[in-house]
Amino acid sequence: MKTFNVPEFYRSPIISKVKQFRKVQDPRKKDNSATVLDFGNVKYYIARHFGFCYGVENAIEIAFKALEENEGKKIYLLSQMIHNPEVNKDLTERGVQFLQDTHGEQLISFDVLTKDDVVMIPAFGAPLQLIDLLEKKGIKTEKYNTTCPFVERVWKKSEQIGGSKHTIIIHGKHTHEETRSTFSRSEKHSEAVIVLRDMAEAKLLEEFVSGNKTQAEFESTFKDKFSKGFNIKKHFEKVGVINQTTMLATETEEIAEYFKQVMIKKFGADKIKDHYADTHDTLCYATNENQDATYGLLETDADLAIVVGGYNSSNTSHLVELCERKFPTYFISSAKEIDGTTIHHFDYHNKKELTTNNFLPAKRPLNIVITSGASCPDSILDDVMHKINTLVGGTKNEGEVLENLRSYNS
């Protein structure tokens, strides 16, 4: 796989050696067990896969290249390039300005843009109407388009199944930048598009697919989540499921299988190919790997879990969701959230920040699961472990620990 020119300050002495160890020890990526970092008084179980993915490293390389090549010019990002506050802060401190926030609300008017300005497209992509608006202003976006290739693969699938008259069901968060971008392309290629957040909404939609509820009820239930002109009597003859790449992969697969069974019940198993599109290949490899590795963390006997990433990061929130199944879990953006024995963390369910005192159990050795989202620099994980080591005290030398790396199953 291609390697990218990512700034050295995002790298990490500890994590780099951990990743290299696992690459050599498990080259075929068959072992999803945690890597064990044993500092004596505290032992870390680090996920097999975590941190920067292909799409994020691609975006960071392009963004810093844009800064290097356009000194003196105004440089804008359509919205946050990735959902990590430290990376976005690094860009704004170097002069990059955001035109919109993550929900598409305007921060800087498009009226100020000129054809000499540089506008970067974020890793999530951008809705077609915004691309068209920039092009009408004479702004070329191709050179500094950081859209993730795996997001673009979803778009190609939407074009394919939309061209065969399938209604497109998007498993995603309808306000998320990536889902808005995917929706705009799906709407271009298909007569009907709808966004579902989860399995609960899939079951609600089934009532309309099966003809048990009315058009008016559909429009009320899924307000702002479907394309113009969606007709439940016309547009549930053929369906296909695609996804926001950062959703829980297992849930996307569950939703897709659910609608396959719905269509079998409606039209018969012998006719399913005429009414249902197989779209399993839109799942992102990095999302899958990080989530599978988090399941591996659940096999450990840890006292708590720490998940590091941006609070608006969808893929990170799903890692938190998985860890919460077994451990007391703290979702933090950086080591700055640890203040002595107090931790400031994020409740993604209720979208609010919490404060927990004495978050570290008194027992020794202390066992901690740790992972991070796809947009989180490895250096931040290093900072978190260093801070906890200082709090715990009496930890082993870093060099000694790295010489004794092992996987949890070894």
Domains of the chain: 8-53+286-407 (3.40.1010.20), 54-136 (3.40.50.11270), 154-283 (no CATH)
β-partners of residue 242 are 170
Q: Please state the rounded mean pLDDT for residues 66-79.
A: 95
Specify whether 68 is catalytic. Answer: no
pLDDT for the residue numbered 246: 87
Residue 212: count of CB within 10 angstroms of its CB: 9
The full DSSP string for 197-234 is: -SHHHHHHHHHHHTT-S-HHHHHHHTTTSB-TT--TTT
Whether residue 4 is predicted with pLDDT greater than 90 in this model: the reply is no
Predicted confidence at residue 248, as pLDDT, reads 85
State whether the Cα torsion 180-185-187-190 is positive or negative: negative
Per DSSP, the three-state class of 274 is: helix
Q: Give the pairing type, strands 75-77 and 276-277.
A: unpaired
Peptide bond into 328 cis (omega under 30): no
Q: Say if residue 1's pLDDT is above 70.
A: no
| DSSP 8-state class, residue 28 | T
Cβ atoms < 10 Å from Cβ of 268: 11
Beta bridge partners of 46: 35, 370
User: Does position 281 have pLDDT exceeding 70, yes or no?
Assistant: no
The yes-or-no verdict on residue 3 having pLDDT over 90 is no
Q: Give pTM, 2 decimals.
A: 0.89
Tokens of 204: 């609600």
pLDDT at 152: 95
pLDDT at 279 over 90: no
**Cα dihedral angle (269, 273, 274, 277), rounded to 10 degrees?**
120
- Identify the band that residue 31 occupies on the pLDDT scale cut at 50, 70 and 90: very high
Residue 82, amino acid = I
Q: What is the pLDDT of residue 287?
A: 84
Helices (H), 268-377: 285-297, 314-323
Q: Which of 163, 195, 191 is nearest to 182 (CA)?
A: 195
Evaluate if residue 280 carries a pLDDT over 70.
yes
Q: Specify which residues 305 forms β-bridges with.
A: 329, 369
269 has pLDDT over 70 = yes
Annotated catalytic residue within 57, 86, 178, 321: 178
